[in-house]
Structure 1
Amino acid sequence: MTRIEDEARHLETLDRDLGRFSTLEASAAYATRPLVAPGIAFVFVVLAALLAALFFGQSGNTLIVVAAAAFGAYMALNIGANDVANNMGPAVGANALTMGGAITIAVIFESAGALIAGGDVVSTIAKGIVAPEAMASNEVFMWAMMAALLSSALWVNLATWIGAPVSTTHSVVGGVMGAGIASAGLAVVNWSTMGAIAASWVISPLLGGLIAAGFLWFIKARIIYQDDKIAAARVWVPVLVGIMGGVFAAYLALKGLKQLVDLSMGQALLVGLVLGLVIWAVMIPVVRRQSEGLSNRNKSLKVLFGIPLIVSAALLSFAHGANDVANAVGPLAAIVHAAQSGSHDGAVGIPVWVMLIGAFGISFGLFLFGPKLIRMIGNQITKLNPMRAYCVALSAALTVIVASWLGLPVSSTHIAVGGVFGVGFFREWDAERRLRMARQAVPDRPVLAPEERRRRKLVRRSHFMTIIAAWVITVPAAAGLSAAIFLVINAIAG
Structure 2
Amino acid sequence: MFTAFLILTVCFVAFTNGANANFKGVASLYGSGTTSLRQALYWGTAMTFAGSIAAAFLGHGLLKTFSGRGIVPDSLVQSPSFVSAVALGAALTSFLATRFGFPVSTTHALTGALAGAGFAGSGSEVHLEALGKLFLYPLFFSPVVAVILGGLIYLILRAIRLAPDHRTPTLDALHFLSAGAASFARGLNDTPKMVALLLVAPGIDVRWGFVAVAVMIALGGLLDADKVAETLGKKVTAMNPGQGFAASLSTACLVTTASFHSLPVSTTHVSVGSLLGIGITTRQAHWRKVGEILLAWITTVPCGALLAAISYWVVGLLGKS
Question: TM-score under structure 2 normalisation?
Answer: 0.89
Q: Which residue of 2 aligns with 1:126?
A: 67
Higher relative contact order (CA 8 A, sep 6+): 2
Deviation digits for residues 328-350 of structure 1 (CA, Å, limit 9, x no counterpart) = 3321x1231xx34xxxxxxxx96
> Following TM superposition, by how much is the alpha carbon of 1:129 offset from its aligned partner in structure 2, in angstroms?
5.6
**1:316 corresponds to 2:257:** no
Q: CA deviation at 1:108?
A: 2.2
Distance 1:370 1:407, change over 3 A: closer
When residues 302 and 127 of structure 1 are mapped into structure 2, their CA distance, relative to the original with a 3 A threshold, is farther
d(CA) in 2 for partners of 1:94 and 1:205?
A: 21
Once residues 206 and 363 of structure 1 are traced to their aligned partners in structure 2, the CA distance between those partners, rounded to angstroms, is 29
Question: Which string of whole-angstrom CA distances, capped at 9 and with x for unpartnered residues, describes residues 261-299 of structure 1?
Answer: xxxxxxxxxxxxxxxxxxxxxxxxxxxxxxxxxxxxx55
| Contact 1:126–1:173 under 8 Å retained in 2 | no
The SS at the match of 2:24 is helix
Q: Residues 151 and 409 (structure 1 numbering): CA distance in 2 closer, same or farther, change over 3 Å? A: closer
**Kept after mapping to 2: 8 A contact 1:110/1:317:** yes
* TM-score, reference length from structure 1: 0.59
Equivalence map 1:32-431=2 (5 Å): 63-119=1-57, 120-121=59-60, 122-123=63-64, 126=67, 128=69, 130-135=71-76, 138=78, 141-195=79-133, 197-220=135-158, 222=159, 233=161, 237=162, 299-300=165-166, 302-331=168-197, 333-336=198-201, 339-340=202-203, 351-400=206-255, 410-428=265-283
Looking at structure 2, the residues matched to 420 and 472 of structure 1 have their Cα atoms a distance apart, in angstroms, of 19
Give the distance between the partners of 2:106 and 2:242, measured in 1 at CA. 28
Superposition deviation, residue 409 in structure 1: 5.2
Paired position in structure 2 for 1:491: 317
Conserved in 1, the CA contact under 8 Å of 2:73 and 2:122? no
1:406 positional shift: 9.5
Greater mean alpha carbon deviation, residues 312-321 or residues 154-163: 312-321
Identity of matched residues, %: 25
The alpha-carbon deviation at position 354 of structure 1 amounts to 2.1
1:115 maps to amino acid? I
For 1:207 and 1:406, locate their aligned partners in 2 and report how far apart those are by CA, in whole Å: 16
Q: Is the 8 A contact 1:213 1:419 kept in 2?
A: yes
Secondary structure of 1:87's aligned partner: coil
Query: Rg larger in 1 or in 2?
Result: 1
Q: Which residue of 1 aligns with 2:294?
A: 468
Distance 1:401 1:104, change over 3 A: closer
- SS of alignment partner, residue 360 of structure 1: helix
- In structure 2, list runs of 5 or more residues that go unmatched: none
Counterpart of 1:58 in structure 2 is: none
Work out whether residues 89 and 376 of structure 1, in 8 Å CA contact, stay in contact via their aligned partners in 2: no
The CA deviation at 1:146 is: 0.3
SS of 1:410 mapped into structure 2: coil
Cα distance in 1 for partners of 2:155, 2:225 equals 31
Deviation, 1:319, is 2.1
Kept in 2: contact 1:302–1:387 (CA 8 A): no
Cα distance, 1:217 vs structure 2: 2.0
Amino acid at match of 1:215: I
**Ranges in structure 1 where 5+ consecutive residues have no aligned partner:** 1-62, 224-232, 241-297, 341-348, 429-457
Per mean C-alpha deviation after superposition, the further-off stretch among 394-403 and 178-187 is: 394-403
Give a deviation string over 1:435-488, Cα, whole Å, max 9, x none: xxxxxxxxxxxxxxxxxxxxxxx2222211111111112112101110111012
